[in-house]
Structure 1
């Protein structure tokens, strides 16, 4: 008869939506996004089976919300980067700290492409990366800024993806992956413009 009988059902103050997102992220980290089920999430979060659909409509809506949140977190990390190399390190750090977000963000067939929140967050992250690239003035080196952005993204994203899939366990060993990435970035993306005259700073 009690109205307050179920502390496991956090319907107020936005807690339910967060509880479902957290349960989804845990499930994705453990089993990947393909195994995600709204009914299973409801059980994990201790809510009715209709609750996830009420907040996210369907599985695609939930995954889209996760991707949008991930891009927002990534944008925040990249905006605070000191330079392009630091942006790459922050990208790798984001992937390590938010592996479930990272996995969903870059699986477009799972997402609702026309979602405004997702498009906005993705654009913010893209702008932050382009800002870090433009700060090194690639056009002064005769490099197309868009291609420079693709190169920088490819290095950071490729390293992060290989790291999360344990393909770099041997080469990286017990070293800090962020420091390994910083070394790779220094090898491939020099911060100083080549003078062609043999001058050294």
Structure 2
């Protein structure tokens, strides 16, 4: 592997890029600060100026993943005012990310379920805030929270479809067909109606 030149100020970004590459190649078990130092061409102690330990690296990767997924969802939302088209774009952005960066997606949601306040939780909340924006401004009845249920069902469904593709139980085209079928069902359901109102 050819060494990539970098300035001291962007070593953190280089290490995170290398960590994403390791995730794609070997999964989370392959992550180590020493190996990242070797891949980046720096001393084995250099990464510790940015990540005090492996958990700090994992948390930073989770934040990066949530930021990238949130940016992809934002781009998907910028294209259309039509409810069905809006959700189709968001769903495909979500599924594409979950397929192309499956190990990162797993790491993100494992890190965010720890319940600890901090950057990972904030990054996860930002993603769900953007998804909330996709729901429009339908009024919610007091005592009910259909929007949160809808967002969780949407995320669980899209991650499930992506997991089937990653496991090669279905191909990517079948995955897209499942996305279409799932959205048709969810958007027209009683839950969808209560969560979205007129969209």
TM, length-normalised to structure 1: 0.74
Deviation at 1:19, TM superposition (A): 1.8
Aligned counterpart for 2:49 among listed residues 51, 54, 69: 54
TM, length-normalised to structure 2: 0.74
Q: CA deviation at 1:84?
A: 2.4
- Tell me how far 1:70 sits from its aligned partner: 0.8
Listed as ranges, the gaps of 5+ residues in structure 1 are 1-6, 196-201
Counterpart CA distance in 1 for 2:33 and 2:188 is 47
Q: In 1, distance between residues paired with 2:117 and 2:47? A: 21
Partners of 1:186 and 1:91 in 2: CA distance: 13
Larger Rg: 1
- Aligned match of 1:114 in 99, 117, 120? 117
Q: Aligned residue for 1:3?
A: none
- Which of structure 1's runs of 4+ aligned residues deviate more than 4 A? 109-112, 136-140, 191-195
Residue 192 to residue 161, structure 1, CA distance change in 2 (3 Å):
closer
Q: 1:75, 1:128 within 8 Å by CA — same for their partners in 2?
A: yes
1:87 partnered with 2:76: no
The answer on 1:189 being equivalent to 2:192 is: no
Preserved contact between residue 64 and residue 118 of structure 1 (Cα < 8 Å): yes
CA shift at 1:181, angstroms?
4.0
| Partner residue in 1 for 2:9 | 13
| Aligned alpha-carbon RMSD (Å) | 3.2
Cα separation, 2, equivalents of 1:125 and 1:54 = 28
